[in-house]
Amino acid sequence: MWFLLILLVVIIIIATMSIKIVRQSEVYIIERLGKFYKVADAGLTIIIPFIDHVRSVVSLKQQTLDIPPQGVITKDNVTITIDTVVFYRVTDPAKAVYEIQSLKKGIEYLATTTIRDIIGKMTLDETFSSRDEINGRLRTALDDATNRWGCEIYRVEIQDINPPEDIRNAMEKEMNAERNKRAIILESEAQRQSAITIAEGRKQAAILDAEADKEAKIRRASGEAQAIKEVAEAKAKEIQMVYDAMKNANPDEKLVQLKSLEALEEVAKGEANKVFIPFEATGALSSLGAAKEILKDDKKD
């Protein structure tokens, strides 16, 4: 009875040691008598107790490795601290176990030396403006180096770049000076644009005033010319009326001459009128003058 009980316990222990259940996204590295035997994938795996041995459990999921902050000297002799994180995944579990003592330590040391090599060829300003380039070069260098370890580097990200305190203060002062410079430039540009706009407005106003003055003078001159024309036409009509009246009355020569002179006298009263007396009328004028003198002498006698 005791023998059966002991045998049952032994069978249970052997079955427990023989049956291995591998979880998803993991593999078992199994050795047989100290030598690599196989890679057990997810699911149920049977091994031989005391002969087969599970050397390591390797995760196939993408993993992250936070690289401790590293002090790096730039090309312009500035010491900065860089914090980096590496995303990687094991593609060959056997190589990841047998080709290197510690995969994580190997990636960490490679990342540290590669960062120092890359940053040492850049100036401080280039390290801030070339993060994508640094990330790409780091990923390529690490992927090439870790390929023989059965590992693939998916991504490398620089989380933070910290320059010394005095450098940060100098950079802040430089940024403030640059902001002030931009503000002054923008203000000057705004004032210049405002002055140009005002000058353009004054120019347009002067042009419009000149155009208005010109139009007013033209209209004024046109009105004056029209007024002179209308006055002349009115005077001409008056002369024509007098002439028609005299013609209808059948006057003698002396009466015609007298009425002509009266009409000329009325015409000459206008400020804008110029009167031209024909040469033939001078005889009549002299006769009228002589007659006037005779009449004066008669009155005296």
3-state SS of 4-15?
A: HHHHHHHHHHHH
pLDDT digits (tens, 9 = 90+) for 68-126: 888 888 888 888 888 899 999 999 999 999 988 888 999 999 999 998 888 888 888 88
First to last CA, the chain: 202
Domain ranges of the chain: 2-59, 63-163, 251-301
Mean pLDDT of the chain: 79
- Res. 165 pLDDT band, cuts 50 70 90: confident
What are the residue ranges of helices labelled H in the chain?
Answer: 2-18, 93-98, 103-119, 124-129, 131-146, 165-248, 253-268, 281-300
Per CATH, the architecture of 63-163 is what?
A: 2-Layer Sandwich (3.30)
- Res. 224 pLDDT band, cuts 50 70 90: confident
Say how far apart CA 224 and CA 265 lie, in whole Å.
24
Give the chain's radius of gyration (CA, Å). Answer: 61
Does the structure show a pLDDT above 90 at 159? Answer: no
Q: Would the pTM of this model clear 0.85, i.e. be above it? A: no
pLDDT on residue 263:
58
Say how far apart CA 181 and CA 175 lie, in whole Å.
10
249: nearest Cα among 241, 277, 278: 241
pLDDT digits (tens, 9 = 90+) for 238-284: 777 766 666 666 555 655 566 666 655 655 555 545 544 554 545 55
- The count of C-alpha atoms lying within 13 angstroms of the C-alpha of 218, restricted to the half-sphere facing its C-beta, is 6
Say how far apart CA 284 and CA 127 lie, in whole Å.
118
